[in-house]
Amino acid sequence: MVFFVVVPIFAVFWLKILPDSKDQFIQDKKRELKSVVELAYNIIEIYNKRVVNGELSLAEAQIRAGRDLSQLRFAGKEYFFAYDMQGVTKALGSDSLQIGVNRYEYTDKQGTKIMQRLIDLCKTQGGGYLTYFYPRPGDSVASQKTSYVMYYKPWQWFVGSGLYLDDVNENISIIQNNLIFALLLGLIAAFIIGSLITRAIRKPIRLLSYAAEEVSKGNYSVVIEPASHDEIGQFYNALQRMIKSIRESFEKIRQQEERFRNMFDGHDAIMMLLDPQTGKILSCNPAAEKFYGYSREQFSTFHLSHINSLSAGHIEDNIRMAIDSKQNVFHFRHKLANGEQREVDVYSSPILFDDRTVLFSIVHDVTERVENERKIRLQSAALDSAANLIVITDVRGSIRFVNKAFCKLSGYTAEECIGTTPGKLLNSGRQSHEFYREMWSVILNGEIWEGELINRNKAGHLYYEHMTITPLKDSSNHIDHFIAIKTDITDRKLAEQQLIEAKKKAEELAHVKSSILANMSHEIRTPMIAILGYSEMLQELITEDTPAQMIEKIHLGGKRLLETLNLILDLSQLEAGKYEARIQEVDCTILFQEITDLYKANAERKKLMLECTLPGGPYYFRSDPRIVNQILTNLISNAIKYTNEGKIEVTLIPPEEGKAFLEFRVSDTGIGIPAESLDTIFEEFRQVSEGRGRSFEGIGLGLALTKKFVKKLRGTISVKSLIGKGSEFSVKLPILDDLQIGAGLAVDSPATEGVTGIIRAELVKLLIVEDEIIVSQLLSDYLKGRFDFTIAPDAKSALEKLDESKFDLILMDINLGKGMSGIELTRILRQKTEYRDIPIIAMTAFAMVGDKEEFLEGGCSDYISKPFSRYQLFSIIDKNLSGH
Ligand code: ADP
């Protein structure tokens, strides 16, 4: 090793560096020689300048110059010489005796005529170098010498100096020896330093090569500690970092592989790797095993055609498309191990795996989706064929679907509808903003909205529709669609409008009918008061049999007429819905007993027994006593009417625990009702015996009214009957809470006939305000001797009479013909302090429902409807006076 380093170094030194340094030295010496000759030349020139200046003569100057040059030395012993061009010596440092001697012919030991050569050199080139042999001063043997001369033309001199080459060579050998010594010294030092450096480097390099070796074996956990902080230490660190980064890269790759394996094995999605060349299944994950029902081992022997229902050729085509990335999503039908077929979407992409391209496929079971889509197609076909109009919108109201029926009615195509809103398409301007705001607030609240609208179709025609909007919610319970189901109700609406108009007309007619009835009632009642009143009075006055019987018949006929009138009025009031129930707590035992007692006389007249069976104690029940009265009255009076012998029984069924209805029966031993008439007898104007041959009086309204009364109290009525044996009417009435408290029944309570009124000791002063002379006449007859009365035919005279004297009670007719009505007069009187509390009895033929209430509200203290009996008149007068 050392040999290979040292020998080349020496060779280069010997062969190149030493010769080069020798040449260089000689050249340096010659340049030095030239510059000292130029100095000598300058000396001559200086002397010549002094000649020119006139300081010295030429001869003097030449002598001085010759002397100076002869004495001048350089490098300790070297000298100068000067000659003229004829070879005469002018200066010679080595031998001053030669000055003045012509040495033109001087020849050295080689035979070279030195002087002549130098003169030639000056003449031709102005000077230069010449090598020759010349003895050293004091020496007889000539040595090799190189001189440099310069020609000084003004004086025709040349001046020069020379170097003895032996001296130069001697210097060179000294320098060479020094160089060799320095080289040797350098080599030794280099050797020592080199071995030190080698020692310092070798250990770390060994460690580094060990580390590299370990890394190459795959051991990336090798750790090398830097020995120093120099370049090697830095190299250590760099290597360590490199190993670390390789280790991390490998770890990353390992983790990625593990992740892929975990993803592949642990993923719920069905995954498989396919060989695109052979179409074989290379690998599959557990999800695939589970889905298909084959094990991994089985899969590894399968060609794709084992699970794909396509032909092998088609499968190959699809694999090619996937591997060329022309198509990556496929829809197939896959076969499972159990023979079942499933619809699948397959996502296939080429991937690099184990240094080759394979197909990585993810299989999605979409059987349910396909089935749903099929269902949706079916449903949408069904929606399309539905007769109803169907619109589906998204949550903002933008139309997503309309069916054919909608398109047909609206005139818009499905394409025109989709994306727009029903409001934009169909708005007729007939519904207010508030209407739509309310609709939206309902459906956005998740509730179903139902209503009717007027819309406008494409042709501009208005149509009515009934619409139900149902909000549809997604799986997270958020409304995402609305489905509106509409029905064209234009025809129905038009029919309704016609009906409404018809109803309006009917109501108008009913109103007319009511007012006709009211007038009729008033007009019949007024004369009836005279008929009944006078026939009643005549019965008392006439005692002869025949006229008495005649009078009785007139009276009975009048009463029957009044009853019929009352029945007709009740019916019309009930039909007009003006007859309202007034619910109160009633003791039914008292009520039933009183009503039965009222009919006792009638029954006795026909030699019939009238019995009333009641529970032991009071029987409180919530109902309307007036209506219960009407029901019971009608049933008892019918029973008496249709029974010729035997008895009539009124039975109030005793209350039971938990029984919430009142039950009573009216039975008789009468003529009975044929089975076929049992239903019809409750209809208006229907009787068992109809037509001219009917054997009983009556107009066939009693039971119809009774049934309506029962219905008013929400009860039921039924009948059992046997021809010739008798009939039994049963009524059930539920307990009622307060229904509407409306107008009352303005029908007189039945009164016991033939009982005279209370007669007071002193005469009470009455004012009778009555325009009908016949009525005032009858009243005079009634009241004569019992009351001090004054008659006023109208309001004006009434006021005058009232001014004249003070009265205890006023009998006030309401309809006073022309001028102020009775009720207006009452209002005026009530405003006066002196008449504020006087009893004013409305005495009127206005006996329709609500009339009584109106008069009482108008200021009257009480009410009596015309016609009335004497007893009824006295009773009411007495009742009103006794309160004062
Ligand atoms: P009217 O008694 O005025 O004919 P109703 O409506 O009260 O009218 O009765 C209808 C019909 O039912 C009567 O005509 C009669 O034929 C029959 N009817 C009613 N009550 C009885 C009864 N208690 N016994 C037999 N028939 C009766």
User: Helix count (H) and strand count (E) of the chain?
Assistant: 24, 28
Ligand 1 proximity of 671 Cβ (cutoff 6 Å): yes
In sequence order, which residues have a C-beta less than 8 Å from that of residue 406 and are 6 or more positions away? Answer: 389, 390, 391, 417, 486
Indicate the residue type of 327: Q
| pLDDT score at 856 | 92
Which tokens hold the place of 128? 């230069």
Closest-CA residue to 92 (of 119, 73, 116): 73
| pLDDT score at 265 | 87
Closest-CA residue to 80 (of 45, 108, 38): 38
| pLDDT score at 275 | 92
Ligand 1 proximity of 636 Cβ (cutoff 6 Å): no
Q: Rounded to whole angstroms, how far apart are CA atoms 828 and 589?
A: 44
| pLDDT score at 48 | 92
Ligand 1 proximity of 700 Cβ (cutoff 6 Å): yes
Q: Are 211 and 243 in contact (CB under 8 A)?
A: yes
* Ramachandran area for residue 87 (φ above 0: left; ψ -120 to 50: alpha; else beta): left
Closest atom of ligand 1 relative to the 687 alpha carbon = 14
Coil, strand or helix at 785: coil
Ligand 1 proximity of 703 Cβ (cutoff 6 Å): yes
* Ramachandran area for residue 97 (φ above 0: left; ψ -120 to 50: alpha; else beta): alpha
For residue 19, say if its preceding peptide bond is cis, omega within 30 degrees of 0. Answer: no
| pLDDT score at 546 | 81
Residue nearest to atom 20 of ligand 1 (CA): 638
The alpha carbon torsion through 744, 745, 747, 750 (nearest 10 deg) reads -90
Cβ–Cβ contacts within 10 Å for residue 277, how many?
11
Closest atom of ligand 1 relative to the 701 alpha carbon = 6
Closest atom of ligand 1 relative to the 690 alpha carbon = 14
| pLDDT score at 206 | 80
Closest-CA residue to 847 (of 578, 590, 533, 462): 578
Which tokens hold the place of 127? 């000077």
Residue nearest to atom 13 of ligand 1 (CA): 687
Q: Rounded to whole angstroms, how far apart are CA atoms 44 and 62?
A: 8
688 Cα: distance to centroid of ligand 1 (angstroms): 7
Ligand 1 proximity of 743 Cβ (cutoff 6 Å): no
Ligand 1 proximity of 669 Cβ (cutoff 6 Å): no
Q: Rounded to whole angstroms, how far apart are CA atoms 591 and 565?
A: 25
Terminal-to-terminal C-alpha distance of the chain: 162
690 Cα: distance to centroid of ligand 1 (angstroms): 11
Q: Rounded to whole angstroms, how far apart are CA atoms 533 and 595?
A: 24
Phi, psi of 306 (to 5 degrees): -65, -30
Closest atom of ligand 1 relative to the 703 alpha carbon = 6
| pLDDT score at 467 | 95
Q: Which residues pair with 766 in a beta bridge?
A: 789, 809
| Cα three-residue angle 863-869-870, rounded to 5 degrees | 95
Pocket residue to mutate for ligand 1, from 571, 631, 642, most atoms within 8 A of Cβ: 642
Q: Rounded to whole angstroms, how far apart are CA atoms 120 and 113?
A: 11
Closest atom of ligand 1 relative to the 634 alpha carbon = 7
Q: What is the biggest distance separating any 2 CA atoms in the chain, rounded to whole angstroms?
A: 235
Phi, psi of 543 (to 5 degrees): -110, -15
Q: Are 871 and 756 in contact (CB under 8 A)?
A: yes
742 Cα: distance to centroid of ligand 1 (angstroms): 31
65 sits in which H/E element: helix 58-71
CA-CA distances (angstroms) from residue 663 to 62, 183, 227, 281, 728?
A: 189, 153, 122, 90, 13
Ligand 1 proximity of 688 Cβ (cutoff 6 Å): yes
647 Cα: distance to centroid of ligand 1 (angstroms): 17
Give the side-chain half-sphere CA count within 13 A for 810: 32
| Cα three-residue angle 106-112-118, rounded to 5 degrees | 70
605 Cα: distance to centroid of ligand 1 (angstroms): 19
Q: Rounded to whole angstroms, how far apart are CA atoms 748 and 379?
A: 69
| pLDDT score at 751 | 36
| pLDDT score at 123 | 93
Ligand 1 proximity of 719 Cβ (cutoff 6 Å): no
| Residue spans of the chain under pLDDT 50 | 738-761
635 Cα: distance to centroid of ligand 1 (angstroms): 9
Q: Rounded to whole angstroms, how far apart are CA atoms 166 and 143?
A: 8
Q: Rounded to whole angstroms, how far apart are CA atoms 788 and 770?
A: 16
Interstrand relation of 142-152 and 157-164 (parallel, antiparallel or unpaired): antiparallel
Q: How buried is residue 318: exposed, middle or buried, by Cβ count under 10 Å (0-12/13-18/19+)?
A: buried
Pocket residue to mutate for ligand 1, from 567, 635, 673, 682, most atoms within 8 A of Cβ: 673
Closest-CA residue to 260 (of 365, 330, 351, 357): 351
Coil, strand or helix at 614: coil
Q: Rounded to whole angstroms, how far apart are CA atoms 319 and 310?
A: 12
Which tokens hold the place of 234? 């830095």
Which tokens hold the place of 229? 């902080």
